[in-house]
Structure 1
């Protein structure tokens, strides 16, 4: 049981919302259900993404006056190269999936944001990260950014074992793969939190996130100011993205 009385050390940063029209310069299938797409454009010289789990909005034409909008994590970017890398988890339906299935070099992409960042410090004594496939880009980026010596355990859900990936990092990282949401939740149930100040980060389907937050906050008494729980999607619900508190 951890002390639940600290104040948050997460820094909230607001960004000017900028819409950009970018060129697709590379399309790569990195596993059966993931595509890595590199976008380029002069306007990326001012692009800002201050946190590994930021999200940008993609705007997709859908034959109506209002485009369909979907949130995606900036996997990486370079102001100098004027490039932005985004990874698409392919779920087989919806405007984003349709676009990513058909996209080719020379196409354009319309994006907006990020509108803000929540910067989670890297100097916690330990960190736990939970995620399904939609969280892999954010997890990858966080592990790349963590310094040597940082202690982090990642519990990652891949329904298809072929979507498992390497997570390059300098950190002291333990990667645990599971095959189902039940296994992921059971691991959290059985896990005993380490001593010292730690941070828990979770991003996945809404029902998984609700269960994880209940386990860590209600059952294990983890500090509410040292956990972030984000529902990146919800079963049978389009365009869903929600912070769970």
Structure 2
């Protein structure tokens, strides 16, 4: 009997020129007790934000107005790098997944949606908690898109609350016919977010008080050849997920490195962590 070859499971990379855009809030919708969907209208003539299917981790840097003065100072782009006016302080920025785009605005401008978790009193949460139509922010990037493999036999997706927007994109954009095993951990039941419906997707919600980690959830899933494991969330938890993935094996074969993508979106106790940093940093 011939066994089907294991999929290659390669990610694709596409670079984009850097653009800095001003955007105005047109709508804010509560999704649960802690998450808001903010819809932003790019100013007329602004370069559109790229939309690449299955690039579920595409993100923009949102630049917020100064919390005291309300002034928004944005860099210009010089030689594909951001440059601030002389003497100007860098605005506070945070990375957010591009949840959706709409290009058919009456004035020809693009509309972009991002989902923000509101927690604590940091500059981003404070802004998101009071944001309303007419407020202005800056959007930088994305600098590139990483498309996920389209040839997996099953997607195993693990996320905390901050990666729910990417999970929404997975459910909408994954190729038809490929099953999805989704595990999402949230602080409590008030943080459950409606997710897109999809045939062949099984979604499991974990509550912090259940004392079940995403790493343990991965261990509890029977591995299968052709799995692609994608995980994103708090960096310390993602280290544990990566270790659990290293223990997986099918038919005596370990999970191939290209079949695993783990991203630390944030780290407990660290403000504004760059998610490009190593998980252990």
Asked if these proteins are the same fold (TM beyond 0.5), I'd say yes
Task: Tell me which residue corresponds to 1:212.
Answer: 241
Question: How large is the RMSD of aligned CA atoms in angstroms?
Answer: 2.1
Distance in 2, Cα, partners of 1:170 & 1:219: 27
**In the alignment, is the contact (CA less than 8 A) between 2:7 and 2:151 conserved in 1?**
no
Alignment correspondent of 1:104: 132
Contact 1:24 1:105 in 2 (8 A): yes
| 1:118-162 deviation digits (Å, cap 9, x = unpaired) | 101233110100000000001001101124322110000011212
1:155 aligns with 2:183: yes
Structure 1 residue 241 displacement after superposition: 3.4
Q: Which has the larger radius of gyration?
A: 2
Q: What is the TM-score normalised by the length of structure 2?
A: 0.79
5+ long unaligned stretches in structure 1: none
Tell me, in whole angstroms, the C-alpha distance in 2 between the residues paired with 1:65 and 1:169.
44
In structure 2, C-alpha distance between the alignment counterparts of 1:234 and 1:43, rounded to whole Å: 37
- Give the 4+ runs in structure 1 shifted more than 6 A: none
Q: 2:59 aligns with which of 43, 55, 62?
A: 55
The TM-score, its normalising length taken from structure 1, stands at 0.90
Contact 2:230 2:262 in 1 (8 A): yes
Contact 2:37-2:115 at 8 Å conserved across structures: yes
1:67-99 Cα offsets, whole Å, 9 max, x none, are 111100011112223210001011222111111
Aligned to 2:38: 37
Larger mean Cα displacement after TM superposition, 28-37 or 210-219: 210-219
Match 2:266 to one of 233, 236, 245: 233
The alpha carbon displacement at 1:8 in A equals: 5.4
**Contact 2:63–2:94 (CA<8 Å) still a contact in 1?**
yes
Which residue does 1:78 correspond to in 2? 102
State how many pairs are aligned.
Answer: 240
**Unaligned stretches of 5+ residues in structure 2:** 1-5, 69-87
- Tell me the SS of whatever aligns to 2:120: coil
